Amino acid sequence: MVTADLLNQVATQTYEKWEVGHAQSIFGKTFVPFGLTAGKNFMEYDLVYLSHDMLFWGARNVDGRGFDTEHNRPTNLQIPLVRR
């Protein structure tokens, strides 16, 4: 409920009232909490590796940089997720 109240203060333009349990798409719209701009879709250059029923994601950069450019792609893998 706290999150919905906050979104009703900062993300109102082009959105219905934010309510718990009610989904809304932010795709292609301005969404200030995530720094998204209308008409510009967010993209990350992540790394995903599958091997022996294990899923490896790219490790985050230690300095906090996102994967928002090809230059910032991860060069290491996190520990794997194992399928059970």
- Domain-located, residue 53: yes
Q: Which domain holds residue 62?
A: 48-82
- Domain-located, residue 75: yes
Q: Can you say whether residue 35 is alpha, beta or left, with left for phi > 0 and alpha for psi between -120 and 50 degrees? A: left
pTM of the model: 0.53
pLDDT single digits (tens) 29-68? 999 888 888 888 777 788 888 998 889 988 888 888 888 8
- Domain-located, residue 41: no
End-to-end Cα distance, the chain: 34
**For residue 31, with 0-12 CB atoms within 10 Å meaning exposed, 13-18 middle and 19 or more buried, which class applies?**
buried
| Predicted local confidence at residue 17, as pLDDT | 94
pLDDT bracket for residue 23 (50, 70, 90): very high
| Predicted local confidence at residue 16, as pLDDT | 93
Total domains present in the chain:
2
